[in-house]
Amino acid sequence: MSDQPNQPESDLPAELSNPARRALIGAGYVRLEQFTSLSEAEVLKLHGMGPKGIEALRRTLAARDLSFAGHKKKASKG
């Protein structure tokens, strides 16, 4: 049984720093799909987010074939 039953399920990257994780969760962002409607610049405005956090999110989004709003996915060759 969880100590925090009201905490929403999150699929944020494990490598996020605690300040970055708190910033995202505090702003209501707990699912990767939510970032597809946000630009990197919007996420960077959150207190606690920085370049390393953005990079971790970018890698995790790409692994799921997702991206921040305004970023075009690279076309696969072949």
Q: Select the more confidently predicted residue: 63 or 74.
A: 63
pLDDT of 1 above 90? no
What is the C-alpha separation between 48 and 38, in angstroms, rounded? 17
Residue pLDDT, tens place only, 33-48: 999 999 999 999 999 9
Specify the pTM: 0.80
Burial class of 20 by CB neighbour count within 10 A (0 to 12, 13 to 18, 19+): buried
Q: 76: pLDDT confidence band, cut at 50, 70 and 90?
A: very low
pLDDT of 62 above 90? yes
What is the C-alpha separation between 42 and 49, in angstroms, rounded? 10
What is the C-alpha separation between 69 and 75, in angstroms, rounded? 16
Query: What ranges in the chain are assigned the alpha helix state H?
Result: 18-26, 40-44, 51-63
Q: Which residue segments constitute the domains of the chain, with CATH numbers given?
A: 18-63 (1.10.150)
